[in-house]
Amino acid sequence: AQSVTQPDIHITVSEGASLELRCNYSYGATPYLFWYVQSPGQGLQLLLKYFSGDTLVQGIKGFEAEFKRSQSSFNLRKPSVHWSDAAEYFCAVGEGGATNKLIFGTGTLLAVQP
């Protein structure tokens, strides 16, 4: 069965420090991979996506993610975290096609210390 695992429920980093959020997926075919961010009380905003091609993808707000097929991973990174990055981050895998139903991970809540 398709699934997405985000092993870190909660992460705290200092402002200016680097960040890596982990995501592992289980999917039978070539996955469509996404990272979304949710600020408190808000909907989800797409940070970046991977469909094919270059395995390092750039997104908004200075985020990037690397697709590693051998590790079934799609980890999200940022070189220097800002206080405004505090939010919940969701990794998702989609089946593509006309409907692209998404399966979400359970999320990682990021706190940023001053």
Partner 1 sequence: NAGVTQTPKFQVLKTGQSMTLQCAQDMNHNSMYWYRQDPGMGLRLIYYSASEGTTDKGEVPNGYNVSRLNKREFSLRLESAAPSQTSVYFCASMRTGTHEQFFGPGTRLTVL
For partner 1, the binding residues (CB under 8 A) are: 4, 9, 32, 34, 36, 42-46, 49, 51, 90, 92, 94, 96, 98-107
The helix/strand/coil state of 71 is helix
For partner 1, which is the closer residue by CB, 15 or 22? 22
* Smallest distance, partner 1 to C-beta of residue 66, A: 19
* Smallest distance, partner 1 to C-beta of residue 46, A: 6
**Degrees, nearest 5: CA angle 109-52-5:** 30
For partner 1, which is the closer residue by CB, 53 or 114? 53
For partner 1, which is the closer residue by CB, 51 or 83? 51
The helix/strand/coil state of 70 is helix
For partner 1, which is the closer residue by CB, 15 or 95? 95
* Smallest distance, partner 1 to C-beta of residue 77, A: 21
* Smallest distance, partner 1 to C-beta of residue 94, A: 6
The closest alpha carbon to 25, from 16, 33, 35, belongs to 33
Bridge-based pairing state of the strands 3-5 and 24-26: antiparallel
Q: Exposed e or buried b for every residue in 80-114, given b needs 16+ CB within 10 A?
A: ebeeebbbbbbbbbbbeeeeeeebebebbebebee
